[in-house]
Structure 1
């Protein structure tokens, strides 16, 4: 299980790992092209440069110094937060870590005073979508898009907090 996995605050030293893991895993698993890494880099840089620690937070999951996952709560307006950069590396999947990261992020958003959260994902992320659904999220939009060099069904999910 995840008892030996700790969640800690994101630091700037985690930025390259987040970008590399997202770019590599999405290329391997989804066929994403080289435009995805720079998008992730932009999200990470914006967070690092401008985040409000009272209303925004990022977490890194790690075991014995090895990073295993990430999730971020980002302000998306006065009353709405956005879940971003949610990732669990393949060797840590199936341990309940995704659930733990998701619930940690949602709990922070509630305590920070947000009334709802949203996230964007793709239909192909079946395990993540099942996790969102199991924890009360509702898919509010789905549309076909061509992003990162592949045809995808982009989804928006929301939850009242």
Structure 2
């Protein structure tokens, strides 16, 4: 099931992001504090009329997350999209992405943006299948790694 994010989900999200990105991507210990900062800001300041987060879970176990936050009056930003490895390949990522995009569209946003890394190939393929387009790509050194940062956008019609 997909349910609304609750503040008590934050510690799990920070831990999962930190652990999985360190194990799978080689990220250093600067990544989890960034996730914590994003979540702290969301919990403290989000506008529930136009910003939301969701948690995917089964049998009480959290499996993933996705967030929609306001960039400006017309544009939402997709953030903290995560699926634990054991939940991948079951269309749960598609369901989370659809929930987030539908929410943004229903709140009157004209489009969305997101930031990711080229190494997240499955997520990037999911974005492309759903009408997102890659608009920028650049090499960076972040989280202790050489990465290729990507920016994606989608316009709602």
Shorter-chain TM-score tier: over 0.9
Q: 2:16 aligns to what?
A: 21
Could you tell me which of 83, 88, 92 is aligned with 1:88? Answer: 83
Post-superposition CA distance 1:80-109 (Å, at most 9, x none):
000000000000000000000001000000
Q: 2:102 aligns to what?
A: 107
Unaligned runs of 5+ in 1: 1-5
Taking only aligned residues, the RMSD between alpha carbons, in angstroms, comes to: 0.4
Q: TM-score, normalised by structure 2?
A: 0.99
Distance in structure 1 (CA, Å) of the matches to 2:132 and 2:152:
6
Runs (4 or more) in structure 1 with deviation over 4 Å come to none
The equivalences for 1:136-147 within 5 A come to 136-147=131-142
Q: 2:2 aligns to what?
A: 7
Q: TM-score, normalised by structure 1?
A: 0.96
Unaligned runs of 5+ in 2: none
Q: 2:26 aligns to what?
A: 31
Could you tell me which of 64, 70, 73 is aligned with 1:69? Answer: 64
